[in-house]
Amino acid sequence: MTQRFRPRLGVATLTASALLCGPAQVAGAVTGEMSASSVAARTGSNAPSGFDLNNALRELEKSYDGRIGAVGIDLGTGRTVGYRAGERFPFNSMFKVFACSAVLHKARTSDPGLMDKVVRWEPAEMAGLTANSPETTEYTDTGMTPAQLCRAGITKSDGFAGNTLLKQIGGPRGLTEFFRATGDRTSRLDRPEPTLTEWKPGELRDTTTPAAAAQTFTKLTTGKTLHPRDRARLVGWLKASLTGANRIRAGLPKDWTVGDKTGTGGASNYGTANDLAIVWAPGSDAAMILSVFTNRNTDNTPHDDKVIASTATALAKALGRL
């Protein structure tokens, strides 16, 4: 990889101690340092509404016969809630929002004009990806710019677009380096599409945690990691996403504004499915970050979008927004 990201990345105010593993937990201000024991001691029952996140998600897991990992951050109050926040889950197509961010940063800091340079490919390079590449298949003859690839990768979860973005930053390893440059010591990408969706319990490759994903996503969408113009561009693509209507968006009031990126591993990968969103309630300038990951306990079982929607509702309640 020709570009090292570390020197120029800004750091958001979230602290790692505010986003820890274990059962449901609630931290106070995300800007303050808190010990692991003090965070773990606080439970979902401490939500402003009295809503118990721990019990709600535990019961949802039982009915779903699966595992749920979730984090909610209210950037207005600094309140953070979580459930299995430090357990690993596969990225699936969620990686594309991070790959796009890395390309935006590279274009801004070391490769001016990159976002508008046409990238071309041969039809054979799309082998195994045409089924989940609805936009890039239409541009095989003309190629696409990284800006167009970002739009396709985020709004339509175009698989080949995601792989082509990875090539701009040195492949999966380059994205892992980008994570490290942002201060994310947890998230990692090891393979491109479609093999990165291959997952079983205990797998470390191509994984993150609800806490790490939420923290890094917060830095990219509201912090100083990206230039303000690039940040606005990224959020615009997230708001235009077409793949998450039945996930986090479905669990929140229809008049709330949501920008999200989904990921789906399929039934043959323990029904893994996730969603990561930035959310605004009407009349509030302060966003919320919602990070939801799921998998089934039994392989060859389909995912369930309703579980993700219900988890989003539970997070909003635990944050006192519903």
Q: Catalytic positions, please?
A: 93, 193
Where do we find the tokens 């635990």?
Answer: 318
DSSP state of 296: E
H or E element that contains 274: strand 272-280
In angstroms, how far is the first alpha carbon of the chain from the final one?
45
Q: By the 8 A CB rule, do 105 and 226 touch? A: yes
DSSP state of 123: G
Going by C-alpha positions, the residue among 233, 221, 218 that lies closest to residue 155 is 233
Give long-range contacts, CB 8 A cutoff, 24+ apart: 116-122.
Answer: 116/145, 116/146, 116/147, 117/145, 117/146, 118/142, 118/143, 118/144, 118/145, 119/143, 119/144, 119/145, 119/146, 119/149, 119/164, 119/168, 121/160, 121/164
DSSP state of 112: T
For the chain, what's the residue count?
322
